[in-house]
Structure 1
Amino acid sequence: MSARSDIAPSTLGVELKEEGVYVEYTDERRTFYNGVPERVEGEVRCRPGKDVHVLVTDPTETEGVLVYVNDLKTHDDILESTGVGRVLLGDGEEEELFPGVTVRADGYAIEIEADPEAARGRVFVFEEDELGERGFELVAPE
Structure 2
Amino acid sequence: MSARNDVAPSTLGVELLDHGVQVEYLDGRTTLYRGVPEAVTGTLTTAPGRETHVLVTDPTETEGVMMYVNDLKTHEDILEASGVGRVVLDEDEEEELFPGVRVRRTKSMRTEIEADPEVARGRVFVFEEDDWAETSYEFVNDAESD
Report TM bin, short chain.
Answer: over 0.9
Matched, 1:125 2:131: no
Cα root mean square deviation, aligned: 1.2
What residue is the counterpart of 1:25 in the other structure? 25
Higher strand residue share? 1
Q: Distance in 2 between matches of 1:93 and 1:138?
A: 22
Contact 1:43 1:138 in 2 (8 A): no
Contact 2:3 2:71 in 1 (8 A): no
Unaligned 5+ segments in structure 1 are: none
Deviation at 1:3, TM superposition (A): 5.0
What residue is the counterpart of 2:46 in the other structure? 46
Q: Distance in 1 between matches of 2:72 and 2:121?
A: 29
Unaligned 5+ segments in structure 2 are: none
Matched, 1:60 2:60: yes
Contact 2:3 2:74 in 1 (8 A): no
SS at match of 1:79: helix
What residue is the counterpart of 1:139 in the other structure? 140
**Deviations 1:76-117, CA, capped at 9 Å, x for gaps:** 110000000000001110000000000000120000000100
SS at match of 1:48: coil
Matched, 1:105 2:96: no
Q: Distance in 2 between matches of 1:13 and 1:43?
A: 27
Instruction: Spell out structure 1 runs of 4+ moving beyond 3 A.
Output: none
SS at match of 1:53: strand
TM-score, length basis structure 2 = 0.95
TM-score, length basis structure 1 = 0.97
Q: Distance in 1 between matches of 2:3 and 2:24?
A: 27
SS at match of 2:36: coil
Report the identity percentage.
Answer: 66
Equivalent pairs counted in the alignment come to 142
Deviation at 1:43, TM superposition (A): 2.0
Deviation at 1:133, TM superposition (A): 0.5
Q: Distance in 2 between matches of 1:8 and 1:120?
A: 19
SS at match of 1:77: helix
Q: Distance in 1 between matches of 2:69 and 2:83?
A: 14
